[in-house]
Amino acid sequence: MCGNGSGACPKDLLVADLMRHLMYAESYGQFSLGRENCQLLAPDHPGSVRCPNGVAVMGRLIRAQEMFG
């Protein structure tokens, strides 16, 4: 969520927002908050976003889809 990632989702999915919502559920134990916010985003699948800090963005987005889908 540092804003330094390259690439973009071809479906205009707000990747940083989705990552934040997943963090609500996994790190803070607030599944309902994460899911509610996630449901407000576009339902399309993630594109190819690359993190210069080594975050496995694609894997995290797949996890969010599995958790909130």
- In tens, the pLDDT along 26-54 reads 999 999 998 888 887 755 545 566 788 88
Q: Is residue 40 part of a domain?
A: yes
Phi, psi of 50 (to 5 degrees): -110, 135
The count of structural domains within the chain is 1
Ramachandran quadrant class, 19 (left: phi over 0; alpha: psi -120 to 50; beta: rest): alpha
Question: Model pTM?
Answer: 0.60
User: In the numeric block, which tokens belong to residue 44?
Assistant: 């399309």
Q: Is residue 46 part of a domain?
A: yes
Q: Is residue 1 part of a domain?
A: no
Q: Is residue 41 part of a domain?
A: yes
Domain residues for the domain of 44 are 6-68
